[in-house]
Amino acid sequence: MSDLRGPGPRILVIDARILTPDRDGGSLRLFGVLRILRKLGYRVAFAASFPESFPPFCETLAEDAARLESAGVELPCHAARIPVDAHLRHDGSRYDVVWISGAYVASRHVREIRALAPQAALAFDTIDLHFLREFREARLTGNVNRVKNALKVKRAELAIARAADVTVVVSEKERATLAAEDPAIRTWVVPNIHEVSTSPPPFAGRRDLVFLGAFTFSPNVDAMRFFAGSVFPEVTRRLPGVKLHIAGSDPPDEIRSLASFDIAVTGYVADLRGLFDACRLSIVPLRYGAGIKGKLLLSMGLGVPAVASPIAVEGLPVEDGSDVLVASQPAEWPALIERAYTDEALWNRLSANGRSLVARHYSTEVVEESVGRLFELLTIEASRRRAKSDA
């Protein structure tokens, strides 16, 4: 078991698996939150609902665990593969706050958290509102079974939100969505965290398009199938010689099969900055999803303009034509890509505005303020509960 006797408030974070911030946006965001908590002086422990992980992530389990430990995060369940409930039975009373990620993981552990760590304030991190994503996929596919599943997910997600002391969302848009469902749900916005490039390479030295996405996430698979089949042929007619780089971990066979003379399926890329510094334009053709899109914010922060779908920009304070170009209909994609790819003045404006927007809303400094205030309130609530219990 972990040594949790040191000074300072103690936080337990529970997610499905050991984080892989180099491979998916959800892990990157949470890893950033953990580093902020350590900087603010909190003792942070991390437990995986699935201690041995699952394919394909189990292949890098040792390296991923070492990354967390190097950031000062304790892994009380990792080495001995101790289940979350066993750790809570032994050490649950020591925690001031329990942060649990995602509706599925929360549904597995929320009862035991309340029973074994009753003094702890409970924060439910939605990551994104899963039921929104499920409903949108059901509508796109016309699959009745998906509609039934979306309703099931919605009931579970709202029940967990009502049981938590605070429900964490990534945007004001999702805060409003939850408020419309139940105004009594207490919410807090903790968005994605992204770096901002101070001097990205200029327009002239760049070429080609890039898409980034973890392909264990179905909206990314759908986006590339749609774009490669319905948009990219017209793009290559308008921009002869342009190539599309499809980057991201764990592409399935249906994505690998898209590789051709003008489409490169790169898979996992260790040096994302190098890739984005070489490409002229980012594309984000998501047709369903929820939350805010880390791939778009990463691109904007690195100074690479983007053409994106309405779903891709949802929840972001962007202005179409100023910060990003939004393709509202499939037929709009080729012309907008051609415009952003060839108009240097427009490209420079989008690049500068995108970096400015990320710096104002999604930098570590901005998110640190939100995280700090949230955990200050949560630890006060835990102290109140401990005092009440001791009285």
State the pTM of this model: 0.93
Cβ–Cβ < 8 Å for 378, 121:
yes
pLDDT at 7: 61
User: Does the bond joining 56 to the residue before it have cis omega, within 30 degrees of 0?
Assistant: yes
pLDDT digits (tens, 9 = 90+) for 137-193: 999 999 899 999 999 999 999 999 999 999 999 999 999 999 999 999 999 999 999
pLDDT digits (tens, 9 = 90+) for 20-35: 999 999 999 999 999 9
pLDDT at 329: 93
DSSP 258: T
The stretch 269-283 carries a mean pLDDT of 96
Round to whole Å and give the CA distance between 312 and 221. Answer: 14
pLDDT digits (tens, 9 = 90+) for 316-367: 999 999 999 999 999 999 999 999 999 999 999 999 999 999 999 999 999 9
Tell whether the model's pLDDT for residue 1 goes beyond 50: no
Q: How confident is the model at residue 388 (pLDDT cuts 50, 70, 90)?
A: confident
Tell whether the model's pLDDT for residue 286 goes beyond 60: yes
Tell whether the model's pLDDT for residue 214 goes beyond 70: yes
Tell whether the model's pLDDT for residue 391 goes beyond 70: no
Cβ–Cβ < 8 Å for 197, 355:
yes
The stretch 43-56 carries a mean pLDDT of 89
pLDDT at 160: 97
Cβ–Cβ < 8 Å for 302, 276:
yes
Query: What structural domains does the chain harbor?
Result: 10-191+363-390 (3.40.50.2000), 203-361 (3.40.50.2000)
